Chain A
Amino acid sequence: MTDSKYFTTTKKGEIFELKAELNSDKKEKKKEAVKKVIASMTVGKDVSALFPDVVNCMQTDNLELKKLVYLYLMNYAKSQPDMAIMAVNTFVKDCEDPNPLIRALAVRTMGCIRVDKITEYLCEPLRKCLKDEDPYVRKTAAVCVAKLHDINAQLVEDQGFLDTLKDLISDSNPMVVANAVAALSEIAESHPSSNLLDLNPQSINKLLTALNECTEWGQIFILDCLANYTPKDDREAQSICERVTPRLSHANSAVVLSAVKVLMKFMEMLSKDLDYYGTLLKKLAPPLVTLLSAEPELQYVALRNINLIVQKRPEVLKHEMKVFFVKYNDPIYVKLEKLDIMIRLASQANIAQVLAELKEYATEVDVDFVRKAVRAIGRCAIKVEQSAERCVSTLLDLIQTKVNYVVQEAIVVIKDIFRKYPNKYESVIATLCENLDSLDEPEARAAMIWIVGEYAERIDNADELLESFLEGFHDESTQVQLQLLTAIVKLFLKKPTETQELVQQVLSLATQDSDNPDLRDRGYIYWRLLSTDPVAAKEVVLAEKPLISEETDLIEPTLLDELICYIGTLASVYHKPPSAFVEGGRGVVHKSLPPRTASSESTESPETAPAGAPPGEQLDTVPTQGDLLGDLLNLDLGPPVSGPPLATSAVQMGAVDLLGGGLDSLIGAPSFVAPPAAAVPANLGAPMGSGLSDLFDLTSGVGTLSGSYVAPKAVWLPAMKAKGLEISGTFTRQAGSISMDLQLTNKALQVMTDFAIQFNRNSFGLAPAAPLQVHAPLSPTQTVEISLPLSTAGSVMKTEPLNSLQVAVKNNIDVFYFSTLYPLHILFVEDGKMDRQVFLATWKDIPNENEAQFQIRDCPLNAEAVSSRLQSSSIFTVARRNVEGQDMLYQSLKLTNGIWVLAELRIQPGNPSFTDLELSLKCRAPEVSQHVYQAYETILKN
């Protein structure tokens, strides 16, 4: 039987003919007709006009015919929703068929008909099928829930299908479990916050059991789901790893890669000292190597992933260099990837072998590959210092081949070698100069010009060489023009006498005859430098250059960590996070590796500790870049206003300052905020003594008080948003002075210097009291702790919320903005104890509508402890009463801007260990009450 004849009907009036055949009485003829319809559909002809006739064929006992009609329906139902309803009855009937294959077929197809009206009819049959006695029907129904969710998410939730789906995770049949996991994972992805896949040790155990029994595809679904779980401690991580490792011997590469993903992720939690950690590392290498004997397409996927793995854990494959040697018949995409990994694995131990291979590759046919091989030699030279000499001589050999693109590529990399090892290999310059004429690519020309300029003093005819380039100046690309300009200026600074004419020529070419603003600007800068201060020009132009390092091509650590969580998926193939190529909300959930835990009883990480202002809340208040740009213009860059700030005085300031050097100072020196340290208001220092003495007379015996409560550091600026700079911090108040304790971490690959900080105007006039001093440059992965003293003498602008603070931090890379909330208690001054009489009078004086009431539940302290705890944060108990077994505390506090807050605290003993507090606050400025209450809660609960 051949079906190909169906493809060949091209007669006119075809549709009409088909219509007649479809309505024929003969079954065979009908079937033939439907086949023709499907064939036309496949090649892209529009056969939607036949809809009613095809649907009429649906009620048949012939399974083959039925499947064909279903196929047609799936394709065209959407364009003919009203007619699709005609099919519903048959579907519903088929869902009751005694044959499980037909029941499953009906529910599967119905899910594929994406017409809203049909979904209503689908619910009942689907519900039945989810509980069908036959596993084949159940596994089909499980996927159908995901289909329905895609059409109408609300309906799925309302009908309770999600719960049924969750129950299927405990099904006795492994394939049902696998499909339920796949469906739930997909649904959960579109609701990142919902706790759909409620993974806990029990459900994980079920999944691990099903893992041993289900099909290869099911194993992939389960492993991918497991990878999203974060074990509670290292012991659990290890036990999961132990049960996942057998999958590394599976014949299906996707199972292997998904298992590798789980292991790579959970290894993060294991201590490196553990024996098991070493065992696991050893177990990872062989399966990864075996992936390279798969078909080329899979090899490609594997290589892209190995590239990530060797960056994350170079130790895994360090002995496996040979397997990455390129084979002559490898497809080009495999060759290029192998080359990349070879460079990553190159070390002193294997460099000889690697170089011999690379030299071999440089004689291949594919131009891209050859170029990459030549470039790789250069990268080896930079990476393995001991090999530099050998690399250079290999490159010289290659230059001798005179193959044009090889020569050009070699010159580009030799330039980099010069920059890594200055004054070492300059002897080769003569050879390079011989090839000057053959260079026709901008990058190579620019590199050569750079070399000539940089080493002008050693090249006798440097001026002639550069002059020869100058002839066709306007035809060169910008890259070459810029390089030529710089090189000639260098030459002039080195040999001023002979080259004056040349430099004038290039400067005029660059400034007068060029339309390129970059080139013109650079030309003018040089011109002015040379004309005003040649010594300075020398210092600038001939300054020592930073050495280049081999890490330039590594993936940024934060991105790498994220990609490790996506091993095996497209993200790992593209080396991009899913958000970069997936549309809409799907798959953009940011994943990260679990934090390393030294042991099971390790302390909770700062992120999970209840902080004064939880990170989530902060994110909400971070303004967008656009907002901040506006705000930046309002940043008060002038000297801080001394004396007690007036709430309205500073409204117009700042904007005026803008062009008067304010921004310049932000970009330039870090000294733009330079109030003297003594600017801490004098009225804070003086009464400190009395405050302290008060403190002691109330809380005799508590000698260890050192200052107000300090929240643990929270991440304020994640590295993702600040080109690798991560800032976390907290606020402290000690002995009357406020400071901002910062922790700066460099998660980028380059050194960071020139730090400076600036605050936007805020409600309480907080401002840095000293410049941000980071003493040494911050090298990659390094962290510094800095305590930045703050004053409240800055200018005031009411912010929303009241205690938010917008901060700009600058370093040599860029200026970054973030926003945080400060706990109000850092503003409680030490002389905030009010006299009893004054308290009573003030309490009465403040109108009742200014009173605010709050509840603090489950406070683990009694009245005594509450009082002393609060006092350490400068909330003073003025009086204390006991009414009907309840303690009443009357308290006062004063803010840095002189606002008094009065409080009545009723302590109700709840159960023996916890008390409930009722707090009434009275204040003339009632908007602070909310924040004072938060301060109470923070102090009492930590």
Chain B
Amino acid sequence: MIGGLFIYNHKGEVLISRVYRDDIGRNAVDAFRVNVIHARQQVRSPVTNIARTSFFHVKRSNIWLAAVTKQNVNAAMVFEFLYKMCDVMAAYFGKISEENIKNNFVLIYELLDEILDFGYPQNSETGALKTFITQQGIKSQHQTKEEQSQITSQVTGQIGWRREGIKYRRNELFLDVLESVNLLMSPQGQVLSAHVSGRVVMKSYLSGMPECKFGMNDKIVIEKQGKGTADETSKSGKQSIAIHDCTFHQCVRLSKFDSERSISFIPPDGEFELMRYRTTKDIILPFRVIPLVREVGHTKLEVKVVIKSNFKPSLLAQKIEVRIPTPLNTSGVQVICMKGKAKYKTSENAIVWKIKRMAGMKESQISAEIELLPTNDKKKWARPPISMNFEVPFAPSGLKVRYLKVFEPKLNYSDHDVIKWVRYIGRSGIYETRC
């Protein structure tokens, strides 16, 4: 199991050091600094073995988190734990920065004591932790016995992510379907790989212990239901999507999903990620990028890029940005674009073309002349792909929320009383076209 946990700043100074096991010596903390943080070369692996001690690290901005062990631990668990640790810290004090960590070091030690016991991760749900780990002075001696046992039963219980007795005057929930569409396209316009990774994020403000049921246009479910009436199948069949794989928040009953493919759960209070999914079939690619790069002699490049929007004309895409990489020996760039603004950014070695809004089924173009310094570097320019960023108000996978039903048998509000909001946002993930 995890033998110790260290947090360093970018210089390699220790901000937090907590050792759980005897086999981790005092020099371990220095070994990581010398061999990884101060190492000259780029990080070649997130797992490093130094003198039979293994270090797992993640970086958040310029803060290093490292877990240490001498045993054959579950490596996936260690990384999941480090991410979780970051989430918990962010939930308590916002951005993970040197300043914030120093300001909250007592709290961090307290958290580390609670969520990792002898190197075994314990309950790490922020909702539960916040009931009894507080640095703002709400101390347990003021709690009644009932409150204490409620805390412990929540921390250890089946529904560790929600406490009882939550009350709202207005029962409300928000569903965000957030998708990122990923594309890798060849210069000839052939789709090399494309997939959508989506998340359903729920913000719930519901009283009591509500039982929720979530439904979407999952092909398998719709085909199952449609068996009886062939008519319905043909109507809805077109609308359904094939989900390649999905994972759920721990509140979702997985065995129920496995047997009936229904998604039922008691949600945590506030915001959480209900599910993640991935689709690979019938993806709507919101934009098409057509590059044309021509090398004129050794000192000049001509670049022309056309983008085409490919969705309903009534919808508007936003925050469109096209990034055209330029060679390292670029000396000057002239750009002409039909729409938006384009600029050559020396520090990033790229031409960045920004368009605020663009409707569906439209087309725009940029052309640039790049002048190069003559070099004797034999190595050819790698021609990194042209990447794109955008945001569209629909789900490129075609996912639709069909329902989200809420039942709370003990309190007197029904599904109809809950105010529900659904929003779809499609963003670019890694959306690249080679040139």
Contacts and interface: CB of A to CB of B under 8 A. Distances in A.
A519 B250 CA distance: 65
Contacts of A140: 117
B157 interface: yes
A901 to B, nearest CB: 52
Interface stretch (B167-175, B283-291, B378-386, B402-410): B378-386
Contacts of B143: 99
Interface string A308-330: 00000000000000110101110
Interface string B135-153: 1000111010100110111
A186 B76 contact: no
B39 interface: no
26 contacts: A1-B103, A2-B102, A7-B102, A38-B109, A42-B14, A42-B15, A99-B148, A134-B152, A212-B254, A216-B80, A217-B122, A249-B257, A251-B249, A254-B74, A258-B74, A258-B77, A286-B245, A290-B245, A298-B76, A325-B193, A327-B432, A363-B380, A363-B383, A578-B72, A581-B52, A586-B71
A467 interface: no
Interface of B: 1, 13-17, 19-23, 29, 42-47, 49, 52, 54, 56-58, 69-77, 79-83, 99, 102-106, 109-110, 113, 117-118, 120-125, 132, 135, 139-141, 143, 145, 148-149, 151-153, 155-158, 160, 184, 186, 192-193, 195, 197, 244-250, 253-255, 257-258, 273, 275-276, 278, 378-380, 382-385, 387, 430, 432, 434
Contacts of B244: 286, 289
Contacts of B82: 297
B160 to A, nearest CB: 6
Contacts of B149: 100, 134
A75 B275 CA distance: 41
Contact of B73 (A6, A364, A570): A570
Contacts of A215: 122-125, 160, 250
A574 B140 CA distance: 45
Interface in A564-620: 566, 568-574, 578, 581-583, 586-587
A582 B70 contact: yes
A587 B156 contact: no
B77 A217 contact: yes
A101 B157 contact: no
A4 B102 CA distance: 5
B152 A101 contact: yes
Given A104-B152, A175-B155, A215-B123, 19 more contacts: A38-B109, A63-B139, A99-B148, A114-B22, A143-B120, A175-B156, A182-B120, A216-B250, A221-B120, A245-B258, A250-B247, A252-B80, A286-B244, A300-B47, A301-B79, A402-B378, A570-B72, A570-B73, A571-B72
B151 to A, nearest CB: 7
Contacts of B105: 3-4, 6-7, 38-39, 42
7 nearest A-B residue pairs (beta carbon): A286-B245, A136-B152, A4-B102, A254-B76, A246-B258, A254-B77, A578-B72
A501 interface: no
Contacts of B382: 363-365
Contacts of A572: 75
B334 to A, nearest CB: 26
Interface in A94-108: 98-102, 104, 108
Given A3-B106, A134-B149, A254-B80, A143 B258 contact: no
A358 B391 CA distance: 32
A567 to B, nearest CB: 9
A403 B15 contact: no
B248 A251 contact: yes
Interface stretch (A64-72, A735-743, A794-802, A854-862): A64-72
A254 B73 CA distance: 11
Given A62-B139, A256-B247, A136 B106 contact: no
A104 B123 CA distance: 14
B72 A569 contact: yes
Contacts of B70: 582-583
Contacts of A179: 117, 120, 122
Q: Which of A2, A101, A583 has the most CB of B within 10 A?
A: A101
Interface string A160-187: 0000000000000111100100100010
Given A3-B102, A363-B382, A220 B153 contact: no
A63 B135 CA distance: 10
A64 B106 contact: yes
Contacts of A290: 245-247, 276, 278
A224 interface: yes
A404 interface: yes
A693 to B, nearest CB: 64
Nearest to A100: B152
A437 interface: no
Contact of A224 (B52, B74, B104, B106): B74
A627 to B, nearest CB: 29
A568 B44 contact: no
Contact of A43 (B14, B103, B120): B14
Given A215-B160, A250-B250, A573-B75, A4 B99 contact: yes
Given A147-B118, A246-B258, A322-B192, A333 B276 contact: no
A896 interface: no
B71 A582 contact: yes
Contacts of A217: 77, 81, 120-124
A245 B70 CA distance: 31
Given A67-B110, A252-B80, A146 B46 contact: no
B76 to A, nearest CB: 4
B321 to A, nearest CB: 15
A6 B379 CA distance: 53
Contacts of A101: 132, 140, 148, 151-152
A139 interface: yes
Interface in A72-124: 75, 98-102, 104, 108, 111-112, 114
Given A64-B106, A68-B106, A300-B45, A250 B74 contact: no
A61 interface: yes
A864 interface: no
B236 to A, nearest CB: 23
Contacts of A39: 105
Interface string A327-365: 111011100000000000000000001001100100111
A44 interface: yes
Q: Which of A3, A70, A300, A331 has the most CB of B within 10 A?
A: A3
A75 B22 CA distance: 11
A135 B54 contact: no
Contacts of B245: 249, 286-287, 289-290
A253 interface: yes
A247 interface: yes
A566 B104 contact: no
B247 A251 contact: yes
A135 B73 contact: no
Contacts of A150: 21-22
A327 B14 CA distance: 34
Given A100-B148, A574-B49, A581-B54, A329 B430 contact: yes
Contacts of B113: 67, 70-71, 108
A819 B378 CA distance: 62
A532 interface: no
B117 A108 contact: yes
Contacts of B72: 566, 569-571, 578, 581-582, 586-587
Nearest to A111: B118
Interface string A43-67: 1100000000000000001111001
A230 B117 CA distance: 29
A249 B45 contact: no
A213 interface: yes
A895 interface: no
Contacts of A146: 118
Contacts of A251: 247-250, 273, 275-276
A35 interface: yes
